[in-house]
Amino acid sequence: MTLLTTWPESGPQTVVRRTSDPEAIAAALTPAGVRYEQWPLRETDTADPDAVLSAYAPEVARLTAEEGFVTVDAIALHPDGAPDWTRRTRPAREKFLSEHTHDDDDEVRFFVDGAGVFYLHVGAEVHAVLCERGDLLGVPKGTRHWFDMGTEPSFTAIRFFHEPDGWIGRFTGSDIASRFPGLDEIHAGYAA
């Protein structure tokens, strides 16, 4: 279930907003310039990037034409059964858990499968957007944010870039992300 939770930037002791209604999520995020959409679900081999891009070709073409993206790819991160899976994925998770911005590009992701949480630090609030299958989120360049894929990442996403070099983050140095519940806690029903 897609979920938006908004807290004051001071921490999660008080919930300002909590909703799973897609229209309410879009309405809450639009003033910050954040794009939120739900796309139709399609069956595809989520481990095959070409199959993923082919399955969602009409939506990818529409968004690329609207926004002028120059690079689109699909990434899959799913447990492979190896005993060192968590250890191997920890560096990727930790990289995105720190608050950062992007100077020259929006961060746009469509979740084909699995889940992740984008945290948007906008003004004096933090919006946690639990994205799941069918969700597209576009974080405007310059927006302070971070992302949690959980302790055992499992998702397939289509990524859109205006820059051919892809993801380039500028870390703020803030420890704000450490004050908020992660994907695992949100999935477990965190409700402070």
Q: Closest by alpha carbon to 156, among 25, 56, 81?
A: 56
Q: How far apart are CA 133 and CA 44, in angstroms?
A: 12
Neighbours of 176 (CB within 10 A): 17
Averaged pLDDT, 41-49:
93
pLDDT at 152: 87
Residue 119 has pLDDT above 80, yes or no: yes
Residues contributing to the annotated binding site for Ni(2+): 100, 102, 107, 145
Which two structure tokens, joined as six digits, stand for 44? 């595809």
Residue 2 has pLDDT above 60, yes or no: yes
Given a contact cutoff of 8 angstroms between Cβ atoms, the answer to whether 16 and 126 are in contact is no
Binned at pLDDT 50, 70 and 90, residue 93 comes out as: confident
SS3 94: helix
Question: CATH homologous superfamily for 3-187?
Answer: Jelly Rolls (2.60.120.10)
Is residue 6 very low, low, confident or very high in pLDDT (cuts 50, 70, 90)? very high
Please give the distance of CA 128 from its chain centroid, rounded to a whole number. 9
- pLDDT average, residue stretch 29-58: 96
Residue list for the binding site for Fe(2+)? 100, 102, 107, 145
Residue 105's nearest CA partner among 160, 156, 32, 59 is 160
Average pLDDT over residues 185-189: 88
Strand-pair partners of 178: none
Q: How confident is the model at residue 1, as a pLDDT?
A: 83
User: Across-strand partners of 73?
Assistant: 159
The pLDDT of 52-78, averaged and rounded, is 95
Quote the CA–CA distance of 134 and 112 in Å, as a whole number: 6
Return the bridge partners of 136, or none: 37, 110
Split at pLDDT 50, 70, 90, the class of 83 is low
Question: Residue 107 has what DSSP assignment?
Answer: E
Binding residues: 100, 102, 107, 145
Average pLDDT for residues 131-151, to the nearest whole number? Answer: 96
Q: What is the reported pLDDT for 163?
A: 79
Q: What number of other Cβ atoms are within 10 A of residue 65's Cβ?
A: 9
Q: How far is CA 63 from CA 9, 36, 59, 96, 138, in A?
A: 31, 12, 6, 24, 11
